[in-house]
A and B are shown apart, each in its own frame.
Chain A
């Protein structure tokens, strides 16, 4: 598969949120606004690309039995690097995303790609896969964040559209579940119309 195809696959056909339904915790927890969703997506993308590349280059050296623990250590190391970098250069975003930054370690998408793709592929292919899945994840989170922000506070990317408070429930926890549920319905409808 060409690298371009690898990238586009992660965005649409194997979209981690809408198709594979992975990484639900940050998807629901950080999308109170479009910009927060996007920030979380980019943070996860960074870890995905780095860990995919690292794991792809060392996977030949790791005995099968300690495979998963090794991957987890590698991923955790990149997450910590991300934490330190964000604290230093984007402290505001780091505070907003809070607990969900260290929790990238247990995001099933990252470990899933390491196990299913990076461990069996070349470094550049793995990087392309990380980019694709990362873009897919970031787009999904941005869309969900935008929808929740639009409905919940009548603004988008922090810009007020109409002078109203919006439906508060979409910013709060229940709205996250409901908004994602309906987005999935729309996605399914769209998909069945195409095929």
Chain B
């Protein structure tokens, strides 16, 4: 039950893109086509799940016992940066076809604030299940990370679909490009607000 709440909350209610504003740069940057949006989402999902697992372990088994929680930001970003590099190398060796599909997005993920954002969120935010606020355990954290990434993907793909249509529309000159994209994103965010209060 808890897992279902986490998933619905992360995908729809507190969508990281449309209500938390994490990962807006790739959202605006690579959402011109549905296929690239899907590729980016796939790469983000993978990195976010692994990064959250590793940073969770580091936070609770290294930083807190050593009382150096102030090193959190440095540690987490270094982990994410090296992880992305490692994933890139491994993927290239093991599955060249997957690398071709996702590879070009990997370097961009280091500076995708959604990855670092979720890693920090799961160790700092109190989550509420049935009125009882508590920190997430390891399994819940990974589920939260995957669900957040899926929410990211959902918003990306929906938005890319909208933008493909926008290309064909006749938009006033000053609205062309990013402005109309932002306004469309606003309307999409408005639609997602309908999920508020679901969990």
Contact = CB atoms under 8 A, between A and B. Distances in A.
A84 B112 CA distance: 24
Interface in B5-25: 18-25
Interface of chain A, main secondary structure: helix
Contact of B113 (A79, A106, A192): A106
Interface string B170-193: 000111001111110111011011
B121 interface: yes
A99 interface: yes
**Contact-residue bracket for chain B:** 35 or more
B77 A22 contact: no
A99 B25 CA distance: 17
A154 to B, nearest CB: 20
A68 B110 CA distance: 11
B25 A80 contact: no
Interface residues of A, number: 42
Contact of A181 (B71, B116, B121, B179): B179
B90 to A, nearest CB: 18
A72 B81 contact: yes
B25 A24 contact: yes
Nearest to B190: A174
B111 interface: yes
A174 B174 CA distance: 21
A182 B187 CA distance: 13
Minimum-distance CB pairs A-B, first 9: A177-B186, A181-B182, A178-B186, A29-B21, A181-B183, A174-B189, A24-B24, A174-B190, A184-B179
29 contacts: A24-B27, A24-B28, A25-B113, A28-B24, A29-B20, A69-B81, A69-B82, A73-B74, A73-B77, A76-B73, A76-B77, A80-B74, A99-B117, A102-B116, A103-B120, A105-B73, A105-B77, A105-B116, A106-B113, A106-B116, A108-B25, A173-B18, A173-B189, A173-B193, A174-B193, A177-B182, A181-B183, A185-B175, A189-B174
